[in-house]
Structure formats: C-alpha cells, structure tokens
Amino acid sequence: MRQTIITFLLFFCILSVFTVKAEDFLLSTPNTSLLLEATKGKPLHFQYYGSRIESPSEVYNSGTALWQLAYPAFGIETPQEAAVRVTHNDGNMSLVLLFDKLEKSKDAASETWKFILKDPVYPFQVNVCYKIYSDVDVIETWTEIFHREKKPVMLYHFPSASIPFRPGKQYLSHLHGAWANETQLYEEELLPGVKIIKNTDGVRNAQTDNPSLMLSVGQEPSENTGAVFGATLIWSGNYELKIDTDYYRRSRLFAGINPDASQYSLMPSEIFLTPPLAITYSVEGKGGVSRNFHRWARNHQLNHGTQLRDILLNSWEGVYLNITQDIMNRMMADIASLGGELFVMDDGWFGDKHARKTTASGLGDWMVDKKKLPQGIEALVETAKKNDIKFGIWIEPEMVNSNSELFEKHPKWVIGQENRTQRYGRGGHQMVLDLSNPEVQDFIFGIVDNLMTKYPGIAYIKWDSNMSMYNYGSYYLPKDKQAHLEIEYHRGFNKILERIRTKYPDLILQACGGGGGRVSYGTMQYMDEFWTSDNIDAWQRIFIQWGCSHFYPAIAMAAHVSATKNHGTGRVTPLKFRFDVAMSGRMGIELQPKEMSENELAFSKKAIAGYKKIRPVVQLGDQYRLISPYDRQQDFASLMYVSENKKEAVFFAYKLQHSRNQMIPRFRMAGLDASKKYRLEEINPEDKPFGLQGKTVTGKYLMEEGVDLSLTKEYASIVVRLIEQ
Ligand code: DGJ
C-alpha cells in the first residue's frame, strides 16, 4: 500500500513538473496593454506593448508575439545586447534570470507588479517592476537588483528597462540642444546599428540631450495620426538611452542610469533600485504620446500638478545682480499693478563677508546682504503682502564659490580631488558641493529650512544650478567607491528634496539648471515647474517650447516675456508677440517694468487679464500641435489647447518669417468636439480685433476646413479663445 502511495505521489510530482504552465500577464491602462509571458523556472518574455487588448489571444492568434526577453542578462546569451551585466566576486561574469513569482501591490491610482527573477546558480535576484496607472496611459518600469553572495558583486550595466519593438521601420524623435537653445526637436529614421542618447554633465541632465524619446512605428513621425511609443526617464543624473536596431529592423531600447564611470559595487543584501522609465503608447501620433505624458505629469509627477500657476515677475533680466530694497519694492508694486500674482527675487541678494557682487562670490553664504537689503527679507515679504502678491526667492544650493565663508569652513565639502588643481565653473570661482556626503545634504536642506522658518511668507523658490560636475572625486566616499559618486550625488539630491517636500508641501519649487538644464522628470518629480531656457527671445522660444512640449506639460513650462531688444539675441519684437508666445506656457514677465512706456504697461495689463481667462485651458487642457515651426516651408507655427470636456479651447498662431506676397496656410484645428459650436474671441487684440471676432463656427468645420488668418506683418501672432455656444 505504502509503495503504491509513494509511486502515485512520485508520478504526480513528475507530472506537475512537466505541466508547469506558461502564464500570460496582461498589464493594461485605459488604452494600452503590455503583455508578458513566463513559466516558473523559465525566462520572462516581453510579448507585446501597444493599444489595449482584452485577451492575450489577440497577440498569439495573430502571430505577433515578440518572444523577446523582458530583461536580457549577459553571460550565456552573449551574442545579443544585454540589459544587465555583472561580475560576481568569484570572477564569473554570467547571469541567468528565470521567473520565480509575481508579487502585486496597489494604491489608489496604480498597481505595481513585480516579476521576481532568480539566478539558478548564484543567489542573485532581479525584480522587474511595472507600475500600471488606472487613470492615464503610462506605465513606469524599473528594476530592483540584489544578491546574497558572500562578497560584493560589481554591476557594470543596470538599465531600468529594456523594451523590444515590433520589426519594421522606426523613426526616432528626441530633443537635443545647448545652453540658451535647449530642447530642439530632432527626427531621424533608425537604421541598423546603435543610437545612443546620453548625458554626462553630472549635475543637470537636460541641457544637451533630454532623457526622453519617441519612436514612430512603421511611418514617419506625424502629429495626430500613427502609432507612437514614448519614454522618459525619471532620473536627475547621467543617463543613457540606447536603441539597438538589427538587420531585420528589430529595435530594442535600453534605458537607465549612464553606467559609464559609474560601475557599482553592490554589497550583499543591498538593494540597487534603478530609476523608473515612464513609457506610453498612442495611435494618435506624437501628439497622443505628448498628451499622455502631460496628463500623467499633472496627475502623478509634478507637485500641485492640477493647481493653476501664478503670473510672476522675475527680477533677473530686469536688474541682474543689482538688487536693492527700493528696486525690489518698486518691482513688486509694478507687477501688482499689472495684475500679476507673484514676485521672484533672483540672484544677488546674499553674502556678507563675500557679498554677491559678481558671480564669483557668495554662493554658499545664504545670509542677506545687508548693504543691498538693509531691512532684510522680512521687509520684502511685507511689501509683497501689502501689494497683495506672493514672494519668491532664488537659491543655488548645490554650489559654492571659493570666495565664500562656507568654503573657508568646509573645503572638503566640494567635489574634488586631493592631488589635482581644482577646475572652477561660472565666474571662475564656482564648485559643486558633494551631495553624497550626508552633512552636505543636511546643510542644503537647512538652506531651505532656514529660509522657510525665518520667512514663512516665502511662497516660491527658484532652485538654480549653473555648473557641471568637474573634478570627479569625493572626499567623503571611500577609495573603492569613488565610481559611486554620480549615483550617490543624485540619491543625495533626491533625499534632500524629499525632506523639503515633506516639511513644506505647499512651497512652489522651480527647477532651473542654468536655463533648461533640469527639464527632466528626475528633478520634476519634486518640483512644480522648470525654467525652460535662459533664452527668452520670443522667436527662438517658439522652437524651444515646441520641442519641450513633446514630453513636458505647459503648466510646468516657465515662459517669460522679455524686454526688447532681447538681451541675448538682440532681436526686436512687438510686445504682443512676446506675450502671445509666453501665453502658451506658464506665463511670467522678466524685465524691468519701470522701463516700459505707458502704452506698453497698458497692453501688459490687458494681456495679463487675458491670460487669466485662458490659463485653466492652457495649464490643464490637452495640447494639440498644429503647424510645426520646424517645418520651415510653412513660415508659421500653430498650436492649441482644449479643455478635457471640450467646452473651451485656445488657439495660437505665430509668424516666423515675413516676406512679400507670402503664402499663408489654412489653420486647421484639432481636438475639438466636432458636434459643438464655438464662439471665437481674440485674446490680446492689438488695435482692431481679427476678422473672425465673435463669430461662431462648428468644431467639425474648424477641424476639417480651419480658419484663414491675415497674419501679414513681421512677427504677427494671434491668440483666440474658443468657447462652446
Ligand atoms: C541662471 C538662470 O537660468 C537665470 O535665470 C538666473 O537665475 C541666473 N542663473 C542667476 O544667476
């Protein structure tokens, strides 16, 4: 009898080994699905990512399953490009990752699925994680890497995600630029080979290449039609987005922290968390992908993402470092009288022994310069209150000047090397503080904490950073962990910002990276908005803002009206044009109002009142890009925003080049409700409003036929509000 039972059990065990079934895992957002497949003890497969499907059979029955590894490891499958590559302490360089189990957790807006993958030989584990949102079409994906080996394991490659694409032609859209000309749009076909988009700045990761991309699948990039994949990395430090395309035009994206000079010695049981990569997919072209990212950013990434932003005056291009109590008071009174809501005192207010007279001194000494501001910040906050506006202030907390009391006291708090001469940055005297050092983290948190404790009336902080990471070396990190510096810097940065956000949830924070160096979700997860570029020439801003809008929402995109002629480009443009460009983002002003004529002040007042009318739609609506400034054959640019319920919209058109007898295109709108009727109302009319003022047209006609506009002057522009009738 016993024998029979044992035989029976054995048979059952053997049977169950052979019948361990493959499982399909369908991860769905409202309009997209990602399909994975796994069998316990076998690799995890990535089968599909695209429009929402209700059953895996749609993928299998159509023969379109990709059968690609979800997170390829180096060592056994060596011919293919791997995601993760490590060296174990015994010198073995291989890793095999087999599916063990799935763990799920949930919060109000998302579910997180963790696929636990284990090496059958080494006690090494990678959890491939997906956060699936229920209200937006975005999935965040990252990995958790750890081991229980006896000694450290060296990580050489450790991307957050590896995404395979269906075979066929792919077109890449990405942003590249330079200081004062950030987020320029570049589009190209992906040919066999490797395309790398990366950053090595060390501190700000978006001034040159942005950590975001789109892939148009099977057809050239188009605004409102076609299948497009989008990805953006939530990391503030160096990153690498690598797309490997093979002979069959099968592309695979590897995205994560830039592993270059950042090999990581992982201690037993330490968890190495890679930053999330947010991915999305749309069949409504690039515009669909942008709208998905914008909605996700407003609902889940930005602070106060659904709260309207104040209209501000920033002092920088108005007075630069020449701050005085009187000048600040006057600027506050001026912006208040124009209808503005916030004043931001920029660089130049601090330093005692090493006062901030030029950019060569003062950084690190965050005490008020009593010579410039004898009554201190409290008096400024008071003046703001009297004018019924809010008060904001500039800091550059990660940096120090060699001419500072901070550096005299803590020379080893900077990033630097024992045996080499220090390489300085801006002003010839700037250095980066070593944020891997917890004492430095406390100091930086203290800068904000002290300001907020002493002057609780501060409503807004502009957090600037004007230097890259030179002199790669940490006085704090041990010799064998110097390669951790870049990663530890940004972990430190995150810790500081988390503390700030916890203690000061209402504070509005602007991420500034010497212009647009911090237009990236790594920084933006703690911030409310970013400084888009130090270039506020309205004409050039059309291009910068257009590129930026591919991944970042208007509510976070600080867009200021500059003086004319523009300080950077020398271009002279009408005030209307400058306002009309700034109005398509988070509008502000950056000039000295005292120098404006009566007419200009009157126009500005009306423009600010006009912006207040359209602000909810611009900042919270869906964006539709209509005519690209990059399409230089058209000489025009045009875009619009539509409220979620489609009852309201705002249309913008700009003339980029003026010539006689010029062809003006028909402006076809998008995103409206075809069955609704909209009344057209010009915002910011100059002398006489445009010919269609007050007219009512159906959404269908506006989208199919469009409107003709007589944009006949140089730098002509128009902003039209559409209101459902
Ligand atoms: C660089 C920023 O981008 C500017 O807006 C301004 O804040 C300066 N720094 C101040 O030094």
- Model confidence over 320-378: pLDDT tens digits? 999 999 999 999 999 999 999 999 999 999 999 999 999 999 999 999 999 999 999 99
Mutate which of 317, 512, 519, 589 for ligand 1 pocket (most atoms within 8 A of beta carbon): 512
**Residue 694 DSSP symbol:** T
- Is cis: bond before 479, omega within 30 of 0? no
Q: Can you say whether residue 154 is alpha, beta or left, with left for phi > 0 and alpha for psi between -120 and 50 degrees?
A: beta
pLDDT tops 80 at residue 4: no
**Secondary structure class of 471 (helix, strand, coil):** coil
pTM: 0.97
The pLDDT value recorded for residue 8 is: 46
- pLDDT tens sequence across 115-162: 999 999 999 999 999 999 999 999 999 999 999 999 999 999 999 999
* Residue nearest (by alpha carbon) to ligand 1 atom 11: 347
Mutate which of 315, 394, 535 for ligand 1 pocket (most atoms within 8 A of beta carbon): 394
- What's at 672, amino acid-wise? L
Beta pairing partners, 26: 35
* Residue nearest (by alpha carbon) to ligand 1 atom 2: 514
pLDDT tops 90 at residue 482: yes
The pLDDT value recorded for residue 16 is: 47
Do 191 and 245 form a contact (C-beta atoms < 8 A)?
yes
**Residue 525 DSSP symbol:** T
* Residue nearest (by alpha carbon) to ligand 1 atom 1: 514
Alpha carbon of 530 to ligand 1 centroid (Å): 12
Half-sphere exposure of 384 (CA within 13 A, CB side): 25
pLDDT tops 60 at residue 18: no
The pLDDT value recorded for residue 686 is: 84
Task: State the closest ligand 1 atom to the C-alpha of 515, by its place in the atom list counted from 1.
Answer: 3
Residue 689: pLDDT band by 50, 70, 90 thresholds? confident
**φ and ψ at residue 534, rounded to 5 degrees:** -75, -5
The pLDDT value recorded for residue 509 is: 98
Alpha carbon of 453 to ligand 1 centroid (Å): 25
Q: Can you say whether residue 344 is alpha, beta or left, with left for phi > 0 and alpha for psi between -120 and 50 degrees?
A: beta
pLDDT tops 80 at residue 13: no
CA distance linking residue 515 with residue 553, whole number of Å: 17
Residue 9: pLDDT band by 50, 70, 90 thresholds? very low
**Residue 300 DSSP symbol:** I
Alpha carbon of 319 to ligand 1 centroid (Å): 12
The pLDDT value recorded for residue 529 is: 98
Do 136 and 279 form a contact (C-beta atoms < 8 A)?
no
Alpha carbon of 531 to ligand 1 centroid (Å): 9
The pLDDT value recorded for residue 619 is: 98
pLDDT tops 70 at residue 7: no
The pLDDT value recorded for residue 364 is: 98
pLDDT, the chain, mean: 96
Alpha carbon of 313 to ligand 1 centroid (Å): 14
* Residue nearest (by alpha carbon) to ligand 1 atom 9: 514
The pLDDT value recorded for residue 19 is: 57
- Cα dihedral value 50, 56, 57, 62, nearest 10: 30
Alpha carbon of 251 to ligand 1 centroid (Å): 40
Task: State the closest ligand 1 atom to the C-alpha of 531, by its place in the atom list counted from 1.
Answer: 3
Task: State the closest ligand 1 atom to the C-alpha of 513, by its place in the atom list counted from 1.
Answer: 3
- pLDDT tens sequence across 371-416: 999 999 999 999 999 999 999 999 999 999 999 999 999 999 999 9
Mutate which of 182, 203, 207, 316 for ligand 1 pocket (most atoms within 8 A of beta carbon): 316
Other C-beta atoms closer than 10 Å to the C-beta of 20 total: 11
The pLDDT value recorded for residue 503 is: 98
Mutate which of 510, 534, 589, 591 for ligand 1 pocket (most atoms within 8 A of beta carbon): 534
Strand 124-133, strand 677-683: pairing: unpaired
Task: State the closest ligand 1 atom to the C-alpha of 534, by its place in the atom list counted from 1.
Answer: 3
Q: What would the 3-class secondary structure string for 36-48 be? A: EEECCCCCCEEEE
The pLDDT value recorded for residue 1 is: 46
Helix (H) or strand (E) holding 181: strand 181-189
Ligand 1 pocket (Cβ < 6 Å) reads 316, 346-347, 394, 464, 466, 512, 514-515, 531, 534
* Residue nearest (by alpha carbon) to ligand 1 atom 10: 347
Task: State the closest ligand 1 atom to the C-alpha of 320, by its place in the atom list counted from 1.
Answer: 10
